Amino acid sequence: MPPDPLKNLDPVQRVKILPRHLAGPGPMDPHTAWPFPFDEGWTLHESENGVAFAVSPCLRLWTHFHPEPGTSGPGTWTIAANRVPFGPRTWQITFDATTPVELLHGVHAELLDLYLEDLHSDRNHLFGDMTPAAYEAYAPLVAQGWGHSVKTDGTQTFNCWDGLAGVRHRYASTGSDVPEWMAWGGYLSEPLWQARFSTGTPTALVAAFTASLISTEPVHRAVTDIPSQFRRQLYLTTPVPKPAPGTPPAGPPPPGPKRTR
Domain boundaries, the chain: 14-236
Cβ 94 vs Cβ 114: under 8 Å: no
What are phi and psi for residue 214, nearest 5 degrees?
-95, 5
Phi, psi of 251 (to 5 degrees): -85, 150
Q: Please, which residues have CB within 8 angstroms of residue 43's CB and are 6 or more apart in sequence?
A: 53, 54, 55, 57
Q: In this structure, are residues 74 and 57 in contact, taking their beta carbons and an 8 Å threshold? A: no
Asked if 184 and 210 touch (Cβ cutoff 8 Å), the reply is no
Per-residue pLDDT of the chain (261 residues; tens, 9 = 90+): 788 889 889 999 999 999 999 999 999 899 999 999 999 999 999 999 899 999 999 999 999 999 986 555 689 999 999 999 988 999 999 999 999 999 999 999 999 999 999 988 888 889 875 666 899 999 999 999 999 999 998 999 999 999 999 999 998 876 667 899 999 999 999 999 999 999 999 999 999 999 999 999 999 999 999 999 999 999 998 765 544 455 444 444 444 444 444
How would DSSP label each residue in 155-221?
EEEEE-TTSSEEEEEE-S--SSS--SEEEEEEETTEEEEEEEE-TT--HHHHHHHHHHHT--S-EEE
Stated pTM of the model: 0.88
Backbone dihedral angles phi then psi of residue 40, each to the nearest 5 degrees: -130, 35
